[in-house]
Amino acid sequence: MQDSYGVICAVDHATSVYEIANYDWDIDKACEVANARQNLLAVHVPCNFAKRDADYEEFCANIKRGEIKLGEVLELTAERIASLRAAHMKASRKGAYKRNKLYGNPATPESRSKGGLIGGRKVAESGQLAKTRELPQAKEAQREVGRKNVESGLIQRAQRRSNHIRWHIKRGLVNPACVFCANHATKTFERLGRKE
């Protein structure tokens, strides 16, 4: 378990995995017993670190005998939380300032554009983009977009436009029956009319 500041709780084994490993069981049985729900505990991270390979009862006995001394547990008050948050924010600002000084501010449009170009090139060169295109969900999405483009008439409009460019614009011809030629002529006449 963790919060926004770090790990606050860890999962540990009541009977240590080191102890279970010494039992005369095959590996499957040992894993099953070690990871059984009854053998798992939610523990405080410093306690888990101090416990090491001892089992739960042995760990509690070591604490009572004074062999294990845990660090001071801080009592969190509203003031203490506010001061910890302020210290965290100050450290974050210092880190961001150093990063910006060395590499530039990533929040500017130029940096975002540059980062996108570099990242895109790296993804393409590494082959990750090609692998992504081959995923089943990507193929299904491509088919769905293609289906929607056909249904909406986008494909037909694009074909008519490319035919207009090929047969009329590149050859310098005007076909009065062509919608694109008529539209182009109307815009040209409007432009000429404004100049006069």
- pLDDT of 144: 92
Number of helical H runs and strand E runs in the chain? 10, 4
Residue 171, token pair as written in the block: 């050859």
What is the separation of C-alpha 106 from the centre of its chain, rounded to a whole number of angstroms?
17
Domain ranges of the chain: 2-65, 153-195
Residue 91, token pair as written in the block: 């450290």
Rounded Cα distance between 112 and 109, Å, is: 5
107 touches 97 (CB < 8 A) = no
- pLDDT of 6: 55
- pTM of the predicted structure, to 2 decimals: 0.31
Rounded Cα distance between 14 and 140, Å, is: 47
Task: State the residue for tokens 């070591």.
Answer: 62
- Per-residue pLDDT of the chain (196 residues), as tens digits, is 445 555 567 777 778 777 788 888 888 888 888 888 888 877 777 776 676 667 777 878 887 888 777 665 567 788 888 888 888 888 777 777 777 777 667 667 777 677 677 778 888 888 888 888 888 898 899 999 999 999 999 988 889 889 988 998 888 888 888 888 888 777 766 666 655 4
Query: In Å, how far are 5, 161, 172, 183, 185 from 167, measured between CA atoms?
Result: 65, 10, 8, 16, 16
